[in-house]
């Protein structure tokens, strides 16, 4: 495998982000840990300054406009929550306490005795909804108990007459229930989004592992198979035919060096997921493709299997993913021929169609190689590659003997050059 796994670093960051979203308190601690032992001084100062500013608003309302209508008082206190946002994010229970205190003081001092004066508790209801939607279960229960213990008795004490107390108490209870359920709804939606994101990350990690496993298998299995064949040949003829033994050893050396180079590129690519400066800087090289088919055929021939390559259609440049998959399919099929077929000849046919690229590897060996489809991963890896490209794949014994591997990979629709790149007037004559 010659291309680096680009999603490894993003996968780690996405996983840590999902863990922080599940608990806002841990998210805040993570931010503090990144910036230092505690919150930034400017941010903390702004939060406490906003709290002090909020406390001035109830005092101004009580001393300046005590005869204002209840809805107006509630609207002013609700707008005053804006500078309290910093403290609400850092210390939500303390911010909720301040909103309850401001609501009780303004409601008790208001000269408007209509039920509209209890709208001053909208600010505390808003803070309760935020706590329910974002904080832990413990904070959620404490915040709910605080609001119920303060707002409902305040409504009962400040009401005029039993009917007023009953109606305003019922409205207040329903309002608290609506706020609580709205906060829970937001919380469930957020947790559902986190679950979906975690599932996507898990699927991406699994797909990346399978891709790495396929690349390593296709690269190592072919080379090790060739090395095993050459080693067996060398051990048999080392006494009687030293020249043949030396040729086998040279083939083993060349194949081993090529495999080690590919493994090094793979490991360097995997280590690039680490932070900058911790991984090796080494050239990765281009990913293999059908252009390297000649080298693959030569290596297979050195292992004792002659390969006839046939090209059908007009050969052209292929997308990198299709080119790599086609090469790996041929490589794995030839590896199976060398290791299992027991024959000295096979045929590879590459068909360049208008809509798809076809790959066929046929041999006249034993038919069903032992181990293929039972414990090996070769055919499974080829089938996965073709499935990822939405193609067709088949592998099995031939009716007349031997084994066939066939794959069809769909090609993207070509865009006419004249439509894709318009030529400026006069440019063609200059050329």
Q: Which residue has the higher pLDDT, 351 or 258?
A: 351
Statement: residue 392 has pLDDT above 90: yes
Mean pLDDT in residue range 198-211: 79
Average confidence score pLDDT of the chain: 75
* Alpha-carbon span 341 to 38, nearest angstrom: 68
Query: pLDDT tens for residues 260-295?
Result: 777 776 666 666 655 444 444 444 456 788 988 988
Instruction: Report pTM.
Output: 0.45
pLDDT of residue 194: 85
Query: pLDDT tens for residues 234-263?
Result: 788 887 888 888 887 887 877 777 777 777
Query: pLDDT tens for residues 77-96?
Result: 777 777 778 888 888 888 88
Q: What is the 3-state secondary structure (H, E, C) of the chain?
A: CCCCCCHHHHHHHHHHHHHHHHCHHHHHHHHHHHHCCCCCHHHHHHHHHHHHHHHHHHHHHHHHCCCCCHHHHHHHHHHCCHHHHHHHHHCHHHHHHHHHHHHHHHHHHCCCCCHHHHHHHHHHHHHHHHHHHHCCHHHHHHHHHHHHHHHHHHHHHHCCHHHHHHHHHHHHHHHHHHHHHHHHHHHHHHHHHHHHHHHHHHHHHHHHHHHHHHHHHHHHHHHHHHHHHHHHHHHHHCCCCHHHHHHHHHHHHHHHHHHHHHHHHHHHHHHCCCCCCCCCCCCCCCCCCHHHHHHHHHHHHHCCCEEEEEEEECCCCCCHHHHHHHHHHHHHHHHHHHHHHCCCEEEEEEEECCCEEEEEEEECCCCCCCCCCCCCCHHHHHHHHHHHCCCEEEEEECCCCCEEEEEEEECCCCCCHHHHCCCCCCHHHHC
**Residue 368: pLDDT band with limits 50, 70, 90:** low
pLDDT of residue 37: 45
The least confident of 118-122, 148-152, 161-165, 202-206 is 161-165
**Residue 21: pLDDT band with limits 50, 70, 90:** very low
Contact of 115 with 168, CB cutoff 8 Å: yes
The least confident of 118-127, 187-196, 385-394 is 118-127
């Amino acid at each position: 495998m010659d291309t680096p796994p680009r999603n490894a670093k993003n996968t780690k960051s996405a996983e840590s982000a999902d863990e922080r979203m599940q608990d806002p308190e841990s998210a805040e601690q993570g931010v503090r840990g990144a910036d230092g032992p505690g919150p930034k001084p400017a941010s903390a100062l702004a939060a406490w300054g906003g709290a002090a500013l909020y406390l001035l608003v109830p005092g101004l309302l009580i001393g300046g406009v005590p005869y204002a209508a209840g809805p107006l008082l509630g609207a002013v206190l609700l707008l005053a929550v804006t500078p309290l946002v910093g403290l609400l994010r850092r210390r939500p229970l303390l911010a909720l306490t301040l909103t309850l205190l401001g609501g009780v003081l303004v409601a008790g001092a208001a000269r408007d005795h209509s039920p509209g004066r209890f709208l001053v508790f909208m600010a505390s209801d808003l803070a309760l909804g935020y706590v329910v939607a974002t904080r832990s279960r413990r904070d959620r229960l404490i915040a709910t108990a605080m609001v119920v213990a303060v707002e409902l008795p305040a409504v009962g004490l400040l009401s005029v007459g039993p009917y007023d107390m009953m109606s305003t108490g019922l409205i207040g209870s329903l309002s608290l229930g609506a706020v609580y359920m709205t906060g829970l709804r937001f919380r469930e939606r957020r947790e559902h989004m986190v679950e979906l994101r975690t599932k996507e990350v898990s699927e991406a990690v699994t797909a990346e592992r399978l891709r790495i496993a396929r690349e390593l298998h296709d690269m190592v299995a072919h080379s090790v198979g060739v090395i095993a064949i050459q080693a067996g040949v060398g051990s048999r003829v080392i006494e009687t035919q030293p020249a043949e033994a030396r040729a086998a050893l040279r083939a083993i050396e060349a194949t081993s060096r090529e495999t080690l180079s590919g493994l090094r590129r793979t490991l360097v690519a995997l280590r690039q997921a680490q932070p900058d400066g911790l991984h090796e800087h080494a050239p990765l090289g281009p990913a293999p493709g059908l252009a390297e088919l000649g080298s693959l055929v030569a290596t297979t021939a050195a292992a004792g299997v002659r390969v006839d390559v046939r090209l059908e259609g007009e050969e052209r440049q292929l997308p990198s993913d299709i080119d790599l998959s086609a090469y790996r399919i041929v490589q794995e099929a030839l590896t199976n021929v060398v290791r299992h077929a027991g024959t000295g000849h096979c045929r590879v046919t590459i068909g360049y169609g208008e809509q798809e690229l076809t790959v066929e590897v046929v041999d006249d060996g034993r038919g069903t190689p032992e181990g293929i489809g039972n414990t090996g991963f070769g055919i499974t890896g080829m089938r996965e590659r073709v499935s990822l490209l939405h193609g067709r794949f088949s592998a099995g014994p031939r009716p007349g003997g031997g084994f066939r591997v066939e794959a069809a990979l769909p090609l993207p629709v070509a865009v006419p050059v004249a439509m894709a790149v318009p030529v400026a007037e006069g440019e063609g004559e200059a050329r």
